[in-house]
Amino acid sequence: MRHTRRRLTWRGTAFLVGAFAAACTLVNVVPHGTILERPFVVEGPVGETLDLSYAELTVTEVRTADTLESSFEQAVAGGTFLVVDATWRATDGYIVFAGAEVIDAEGRSFWATSRGGCAKGTNSQPGYAWRATYCFDVPRDALAGATLRLARGTHGEDDAGQRRDAVAVVDLGIGQHDVNELWDATEKISIEMPGFASAPATDAGGEG
């Protein structure tokens, strides 16, 4: 009878170490942020309905205001409030729409605020259109070329909540020549709580 004592061979060890090193290199070399984890961006202008696979989104109106007003509080802007009305229509079950930010031409991010009764996020069931008003306190130099980024995933660190998921990026259509007018607007806007929408994203006529 023959005993095979040397189970650990040099060749086997070298193979294992080599395979491990190769795997580590692969993990480190492949660009996660730019390729593997990149969200699926659906772009469009204000007024167009975007299909995000889990929901349809229409940005209906973009305004600016110095003061926001709701039934319970009044909020004064540090810069100016960029007020965006949007309509969601969930298509994939109950969905929490958690991500809302404005990205300016330089790539800076601006979060939505709940001041003045605005929505930082919203949620809805399928079967009806749901309207929400988002407000962003932005400085003057963020207005021109600003885009709105809405999704069910949160922004978080490196857009962690939006990896491999659809994200709507809406060009707010603000040109350099619009900036003065928008910035000087001293309006007070009354913010409505999120609720059923009758208009654009509804084709079968929702609850009203």
Partner 1 sequence: MKHARSADADLVVRLLHSVADAVADGMSTTQRVVAGAIVGVFALTPFGAWDEVVTEPEPLVAGQEIEVGPFELTVVRAVVTDDIGFLTPQEGNRLLAVVVDVTNVSDRPEYGVLLAKIFPAPTGEGIAPRSSPFGESAGSEETTEEPRLPDPTILSAEDGTNLDSINPGISYRVALVWEQQLDQAQDEVTLDLAELTWIEEDTTFGMDDQRWFAYGEVLYRGPVTVEKGADR
Instruction: Pick one of 39, 99, 116, 153: the residue that binds partner 1 (CB under 8 A).
Output: 116
Give the footprint of partner 1 on residues 139-168 (CB under 8 A): 139, 141-142, 157-158
| Least CB distance to partner 1 at residue 76 (A) | 5
Per DSSP, what are the bridge partners of residue 90? 55, 126
Structure tokens at 117: 């009764």
Instruction: Pick one of 97, 110, 128, 130: the residue that binds partner 1 (CB under 8 A).
Output: 110
Residue number, 129 or 135, with CB nearest to partner 1: 135
Does residue 137 contact residue 80 with C-beta atoms inside 8 Å? yes
Does residue 56 contact residue 167 with C-beta atoms inside 8 Å? no
Quote the DSSP letter at residue 191.
P
**Cα-based distances in Å from 28 to 24, 32, 35, 39, 207:** 6, 9, 13, 20, 51
| Least CB distance to partner 1 at residue 77 (A) | 8
Residue number, 63 or 108, with CB nearest to partner 1: 108
Which of these segments, 11-19, 89-97, 112-120, 184-192, binds partner 1 (CB under 8 A)? 112-120
Give the Cβ contact number of residue 62 at 10 Å: 19
Convert residues 35-64 into a mask of x (bound to partner 1 by CB under 8 A) and - (unbound). Answer: ------------------------------
136 binding partner 1? (CB under 8 A): yes
What is the distance in angstroms between the CA of the first residue and the CA of the last residue of the chain?
Answer: 87
Backbone angles phi, psi at 36, to 5 degrees: -65, -40
Instruction: Pick one of 78, 126, 127, 195: the residue that binds partner 1 (CB under 8 A).
Output: 78
Binding residue count for partner 1, defined by CB under 8 A: 25
133 binding partner 1? (CB under 8 A): no
